[in-house]
Structure 1
Amino acid sequence: MHPLFDALETHLATRPAQAVDLPGLVLREAAVLVPLLLRDERPHVLFTKRPTTLRHHAGQYSFPGGSRDPEDSTPLHTALRETREELGIDVTGVRVLGGLDEVPTLGGSNFRIRPFVGVLPRGLEFKPNPAEVEFIIEVPLAHLLAPSVHRTESRRAGGLVYEVDFFTWETHVIWGATGRILRDVVGLARELSPP
């Protein structure tokens, strides 16, 4: 395992994830897994590209996840179930490092997303569900740590002004709730990586 994964697990165990508090807004529960993996002994982050035919966030890059079903006992169960369904993998070997702060989606979908960071086991063969995943990309974490690949823009929704994060990898642009979650992961990686 990579030392950064151990450091993330230790750090996330010491701080409880913060819930979204937006009085007057009813947000539906959702959860995602931020999948980390090693390629050539270097940490990478996995993203899925959503098909343009989907009702919410069509054509965007995302982490595996979705709405919490009534049979999901916890948000983590939702994140792992959705990861299994979207990527076509056995999730029993995923090493869950911990949870991040909830992230809201505003302007239509109105979700409260609970992200979890997890390390995928080596040697997995992905079998993406074409109804939910157009394709998969794996981005080196070192690339995402470069300040030049990140920018923010101000947006307004529901009477609130908020920052939208954008990350670029080759021709791919990762933004929205996924960009916000990624900003948290990148910030922690910067803080916890050895100099």
Structure 2
Amino acid sequence: MTTEALKLIHDAIRDGGRLSSDYDLNPDVNLPAGRKLRPAAVLVPIYFRDGQARLILTKRSSALKHHPGQISFPGGKQDSEDKDLIATGLREASEEIGLNPVSVDVLGCLKPHETVTSFNVTPVIGVIRDDFTPIAEPGEVDEVFSVPLVHVLDPEHFTVEGRYWQGTLRRYYAVPYGPYYIWGATARMLRTLANYATQDED
């Protein structure tokens, strides 16, 4: 599956995927054409162990003001000193999980994902080629964990769920794994990759 998984990822990068957003499953939402989005990036870190490709994710600190306790990729907004959004993703991964940027082979990027918090997030996909022991950033990250890449590349593992936000039902993707509830923007970006397993268009 390792070779097949990487082929799917390379296909997704080559095509770029579709633009996605937190509103994809909510067609009743009318977004203003002139809205301002802040550039941001996440690193989608993949590593190999015992012949299996795995994906690293974080559980955000429950003390954070925004998205406390949620599952996410390491990432954040672009800073003025960042050369580009790839540099943003690598810097954030260094800060949040202690990943040395020189240990990452960047494969490429998917098209940006718009969030309800007005960020335009570019997923940067990279393979960790060296041994790596995560170090969670105090105050930002409660836990660093991994899931088999094959799990999040299987469209059958995704569900569409919903909850009320600002008085309105909002639907979103979820791809649970064990005790981890992966949902929202993170699940939507992973769903873009999973689309290439079946060539779906959603």
TM-score range normalised by the length of the shorter chain? 0.7 to 0.9
CA distance in 2, matches of 1:15, 1:150: 21
Tell me the secondary structure at the aligned position of residue 141 of structure 2. Answer: coil
CA distance in 2, matches of 1:147, 1:11: 14
> Which residue is 1:38 aligned to?
48
Moved beyond 6 Å, runs of 4+ = 155-158
Q: Is the 8 A contact 1:2 1:41 kept in 2?
A: no
Number of residue pairs matched?
188
Residues 1:141 and 2:149 aligned together: yes
> How has the CA–CA distance of structure 1 residues 111 and 156 changed in structure 2, closer, same or farther, with 3 Å as cutoff?
farther
* Displacement of 1:36: 0.9
* Displacement of 1:8: 2.8
> How has the CA–CA distance of structure 1 residues 155 and 111 changed in structure 2, closer, same or farther, with 3 Å as cutoff?
farther
Work out which of the residue numbers 176, 185, 190 in structure 1 matches 2:184. 176
Pairwise mapping of residues 152-163 of structure 1 onto structure 2 (< 5 A)? 152-153=160-161, 163=171
CA distance in 2, matches of 1:40, 1:22: 48
Gaps of 5+ in 2: 22-30
> Which residue is 1:130 aligned to?
138
* Displacement of 1:125: 1.9
Q: Is the 8 A contact 1:34 1:116 kept in 2?
A: yes
> How has the CA–CA distance of structure 1 residues 176 and 16 changed in structure 2, closer, same or farther, with 3 Å as cutoff?
closer
TM-score relative to the length of structure 1: 0.83
Q: Is the 8 A contact 1:104 1:111 kept in 2?
A: yes
CA distance in 2, matches of 1:114, 1:79: 8
TM-score relative to the length of structure 2: 0.80
CA distance in 1, matches of 2:19, 2:89: 17
Residues 1:114 and 2:122 aligned together: yes
CA distance in 2, matches of 1:6, 1:148: 19
Q: Is the 8 A contact 1:42 1:140 kept in 2?
A: yes
Residues 1:12 and 2:20 aligned together: no
CA distance in 1, matches of 2:148, 2:20: 29
Deviations 1:51-94 (A, max 9, x none): 01112111100001001111112111110100111111211121
Q: Is the 8 A contact 2:17 2:192 kept in 1?
A: no
CA distance in 2, matches of 1:7, 1:110: 29
> Which residue is 2:65 aligned to?
55
Identity %, equivalent residues: 34
CA distance in 2, matches of 1:87, 1:15: 26
Q: Is the 8 A contact 2:162 2:172 kept in 1?
A: yes
Work out which of the residue numbers 75, 81, 93 in structure 2 matches 1:65. 75
CA-based RMSD of the aligned residues comes to 2.7
Gaps of 5+ in 1: none
